[in-house]
Amino acid sequence: MKVIVAKYLTPVGFRAITIFPFIIVRSKEALSNPHLLSHERIHIHQQRELLVVFFYVWYVLEFLVRWMVFRDRMAAYRALSFEREAYTNDNDPHYLKRRSLYSFLSYFKK
């Protein structure tokens, strides 16, 4: 995992994005945010366990379905199983040590 500071590679409205094996943050200040980096590290694990390509396919398909349901992009984004797992656990510095494979699935139906 490598962290890169690149304002123009990060989507507008977001502080970071993870594209395996990189975490791209919008600003140097983001490097000192442990919750943000933990959140993105969870995405690294999710991407790795789904062999990267399947992560993106699942992410896009789930997003499209949730967008049709909620009719709101941000609500759809926040409801994604990958994001729910990351947001729920980004404040726990030991989460990745005890995280089991495919943990995001437990957030899929909620």
Whether 88 has a pLDDT exceeding 70, the answer reads yes
Longest CA span, the chain: 36
Instruction: Enumerate the domain spans of the chain.
Output: 2-104
Q: Which of 55-59, 80-84, 105-109 has the weakest average pLDDT?
A: 105-109
Cβ neighbours of 102 (radius 10 Å): 11
Model pLDDT for residues 4-46, shown as the tens digit of each residue: 999 999 999 899 999 999 999 999 999 999 999 999 999 999 9
Identify the three-state secondary structure at position 1. Answer: coil
| Residue 3 β-bridge partners | 23
pTM of the model: 0.94
Buried b (16+ CB within 10 A) or exposed e, 1-38: eeeebeeeebeeeeebbbebebbbbbeeebeebeebbb
